[in-house]
Structure formats: C-alpha cells, structure tokens
Structure 1
Amino acid sequence: MIVERVSVSGGSGTINADGKVVRPELQQALRIALATGQLRRPLSATLRPLLDLLADGDYELHGPEPLADGVDLVPTGDWPPSDEARVTYYRTAIRTHHKPVAVLLHSGDQVFIVDGHHKIAAYRAEGAQPTTVRLVVN
C-alpha cells in the first residue's frame, strides 16, 4: 500500500539511488521519532529533513510497517554495527514492545539502509521483524 507520494526538488542529493548512499546526520527530533517509532502523519512532514537530503525525483513513502521476509538489505555503513551499547539499547526497546523504525531506500532491486543499522541488528538479535519506513524511487 502506498502511503504517500512525494516529489523532491532542490534536494541535496546526499542520498541517491545509484548505490552511493551516504549515511545522513539527522536532526535530533527526527532521530528521536525514529528511535521511538512515534512517526506522525503525514509522513512527508515528519521525514522532511530526510527528504531534503534525497536526490531530486519522485518517491513513494511506505510505513511504518514490518520488513517483508527475504529482503536483502545493503548496508550504507559498518555491518555489523560496531556500537554494541546502541544495539543493546534497541534490543531492550524491542523487548518492551517499542518499535524503533529503520529507514530504507528501494531503488530497482536494491534496498539500502539509510538509517537504522543498529535497529536492524537489534531486531535480528531479538528474532523480530524490523519496523521500517521505505522510500521507494519511482
């Protein structure tokens, strides 16, 4: 199900769909919203600081939703993540029924982890499906 369609014009191109995704430094309010899973609608408003980092183009925003089985993720940073304390923090959150959200960029047949390496590692360690927001390149 498509949650929202957005067009990015004047984006910085820091995040693009050619496999050169640079892990962005997100604003604190957005980092907190993703860490706690408390994303407000419309998603495009909540994710605006992230959307401004995208290459210009048309995108679909999906989620938050569980990651489908069998999706191969392409890390854009160290894998596995080196900060075990952060992974432990997210594992605790997941065990207490919180749903931290990872951000993925779908481009063609590749799915890049834009934000959430530690979250994905924590979900996997807990044997749970990661909760994600997907940015799909049109």
Structure 2
Amino acid sequence: MEQVTISGGTGFLDVNKRARAELPQALRIALATGQLRRPLATTLGPVLDLLVDGDYRVSGPERVPDGQSLTPTDTWPPSDEARVGYYRTAIRTGHRPVAVVLGDGERELILDGHHKIAAYRAEEIAPAVVRIAQAYSAS
C-alpha cells in the first residue's frame, strides 16, 4: 500500500458527483492489460490529480473478495457488449485487466472499469482492482 498526499487536485472526481474523466491512453492501456508500474501513485497520477486535496492510500492490483459490492458510476450493466466480450476473451486467456475503484468510507465506486467488472462477473472470476481510499487520521 502506498500513501499519497494530493495538493492542487482539481476535485473533479467527487463521490457525490457522477462526473466521468477521460484517462490518458497510456494509462488506459496499462489498466486494460494489467501491466501497472510501481509506484502506483505515479502511474495513477492522472486519476489522483482529479481528487480533492488530502491524504490517500493506493493499493493493488488485488482481487475483490466474494460478496463485496462495487458501486457503478455509469450505466449498469455497461451497454457496449462488444467491449465486455473483448475483456471476457482476455480474461479467459489469462490476462487480468484492472479496474480503478474509489472508496469513500462506506462504498467503493467504480471510477474506471465498468466493462472489465462486467466481464469478470460473466466469467465468474473475482475482479482485479486498484483501490484508492481517503486516509482518515484518528484524531
């Protein structure tokens, strides 16, 4: 797990808004192939820059435990069946695409990867995710 402090974030991604961000192509490819470089805070920089200022924890890729729910931030189920099919094929052949989720303390919101999550569920395999969670201090 990595700790990261956001300073100068745009606040574009807010758990109370349903705003969608367009990720840079290099990051989209890394997530689609599961080839994420360390440190995650650097790799996920374009996503982290969209958050409000504060302290966060970044972890993963890791599997979502059985029974844990993820909250979609877009249409569910995803309407692009061809894209879900693409990810299903990738998963069946051993690839592990990664979704990005943001924890707000009560739920985990799917920021990127609705099609990936749908494909994992269709294949009955636990989804691979990178988690971003606000780090709360015990004050």
Place the TM-score, normalised by the shorter chain, in its bin. over 0.9
Selected match of 1:41 from 28, 38, 41: 38
Deviations 1:108-127 (Å, cap 9, x if unpaired)? 11110000000000000000
| Structure 2: gaps (5+ residues) | none
Selected match of 1:117 from 95, 107, 114: 114
% identical equivalent positions: 63
Partner of 2:11: 13
Deviations 1:68-99 (Å, cap 9, x if unpaired)? 22222111100000000100000000001000
Partner of 2:49: 52
CA RMSD of aligned residues (A): 0.9
TM-score under structure 2 length normalisation: 0.94
Task: Read off the aligned partner of 2:81 and give its amino acid letter.
Answer: E
d(CA) in 1 for partners of 2:8, 2:18: 17
| Structure 1: gaps (5+ residues) | none
TM-score under structure 1 length normalisation: 0.94
Following TM superposition, the consecutive aligned residue runs of length 4 or more in structure 1 with deviations greater than 3 angstroms are none
Cα contact 2:102–2:131 (8 A) shared by 1: yes
Q: CA deviation at 1:23?
A: 2.0
d(CA) in 2 for partners of 1:98, 1:22: 29
